[in-house]
Every structure is written in structure tokens, then in C-alpha cells.
Amino acid sequence: MNRLSRLLWWWLDYVYAGWRQVRSVLRHRRPRDFAEGSAELPAVILLPGVYETWLFLEPVARRLSTRGYRVFAVPELSFNRMPITRSAEVVAACLDRLAAEHGLGRVILLAHSKGGLIGKQLMVMDAAPPGAVDIVGMVAIAAPFSGSSYAQYLPSATLRAFSPRDSVLMDLLARHDVNARIVSIYSTFDPHIPAKSALDGAQNLELPIAGHFLPLRNPLVGETVERAVAHLTLPPGSPEGQH
């Protein structure tokens, strides 16, 4: 991809993100029908990226809802500016509440960007008491598991936390014990994550598309997410569930 094409993708990516941001300000509530579905399937928990709300994940969330999955957001994350560890604690508390209100048992995390880091932090916390919600796995789209080399130059401390040299991110990257339960989906060209989103030991799926935000509305990403969630839904050890 030449420089002009990269600049075009940068621009398109920001235009799409800006449109979603406007919608996030004007529309907060998750559709009621997202909570409807089969109790036999794992519920899907939406973890958006930094400065994002659940609306960024709406295209893939709606697709899963039509397939019978119950889909829930975490309103306590708001626009997702809290540190990763604190965000994971907030999500854990939300899962307890959702379990009490909706009878959640197994859940699958569906994350975008920073949401993937929050999801992995939640998975490695390993402090859930017996009978708590069971996190089956996570499908992460464009997650900066190895950080972004651009982050260290950004003026915002919220964004500098994605530097590859950030201690929290480095500690999280070193935790390999949950990676086998993570499906990482990412673009051939991501203008925000030059090192891409491959994660050792995870199921890494690089798609022939471009962008960081735009892929969230791409039908190929939707299909890939749907297959990944179905794969994680299968009982452990089943022949269909083998990589």
C-alpha cells in the first residue's frame, strides 16, 4: 500500500470514528432486544475502545443478536478513559450485576481496540469466586496487545498508556496463560497499530482489509466474528472446537 492510499485510509477511518462519536453522544441506550436470546448460548459482553461507547461495536453486536446471542454493554465504562486495571474491575462488577439480573452463566467478551486489553486483564485477574460468571473467551478486533509505537508521542496520558513500554501493558503481554482463549482479528493495514494485533498463542486472523475503526462495519469482519464466537461457544475438547 503506497503512502497516498495510507493517508486516504487514515482520513476515512477518522471520518467513520467521528460519525460514531456523534451517534454515541446522541444515543446512549442499548436496544432492548439485545438482551433477548437463548440462555443456552454464552452471553456476549461488549468492550469498546478508548473514547468509544458500545455503539462502535453495534454492527457486529446486532449480527450476533440476530443469531440468538444475548448482548450486553457495560455502561459504567462510559467513554472508556479509565486505566486498564480499573476498567477490568468495573467490568467484573458489571458482570456480577448482570448475572444477578439476567442469570448470566457463561460469557464471551467482544472487544475493540483498548477493550481487548481490558478483556485480557479481566481474564487474567483469576479472582472469581466459585459460581461466578465463566468467561469462555474473547474475540478482539484491532486490539493493541503489543502497544502502538505512536502512543509515546501523543499528548494525552490516556493514549500514552498504549506505549509498548508501558509497564501495565508489558505485564499484560507477558501473561500467556489465557491467550489460547482469545481470537484476535485485525487488518492488513491499521493506521493506529503499525505492529498489528497478533498475540502469541491466540488464534490470529489477519483480514485483507484496512483501518482501525472502519473494519467494525465490514461484513467480512462480521462474518469472522460470528464464526469466532461460535467456535468459542463449543464445549472444550469437542472436535469442532479444535483449532
Give yes or no for a contact between 106 and 43, defined as CB atoms under 8 angstroms apart.
yes
For domain 3-233, say whether CATH 3.40.50.1820 is its number.
yes
Strand partners, 107: 43, 135
Determine how β-strand 182-189 pairs with β-strand 203-210. parallel
User: What residues contact residue 54 under an 8 Å CB cut-off, 6+ apart?
Assistant: 30, 46, 48, 61, 73, 74
CB atoms near residue 194 (< 10 Å)? 10
The domain ranges of the chain are: 3-233
CB atoms within 10 A of CB 200: 10
Residue 71 pLDDT > 80, yes or no? yes
Q: Could you tell me the pLDDT band of residue 26, with boundaries at 50, 70 and 90? A: low
More confident residue, 212 or 154: 212
Q: How far apart are CA 210 and CA 222, in angstroms?
A: 15
Residues 6+ apart with CB under 8 A from 28: 53, 75
pLDDT single digits (tens) 84-103: 999 999 999 999 999 999 99
Cβ atoms within 10 Å of 12's Cβ, excluding its own: 15
Nearest to 36 by CA among 67, 74, 6, 7: 67
Q: Is the pTM of this model over 0.85?
A: yes
Render pLDDT for 200-228 as a digit per residue (tens, 0 to 9): 999 999 999 999 999 999 999 999 999 99
Span 109-131, mean pLDDT? 85
Report the 10 Å Cβ neighbour count for 54: 26
Mean pLDDT, the chain, integer: 89
Helix (H, G, I), strand (E, B) or coil at 80: coil
Grid coordinates 503489543 are at which residue?
A: 146
For the purposes of burial, counting CB atoms within 10 Å of the CB of 86, is it exposed (0-12), middle (13-18) or buried (19 or more)? exposed
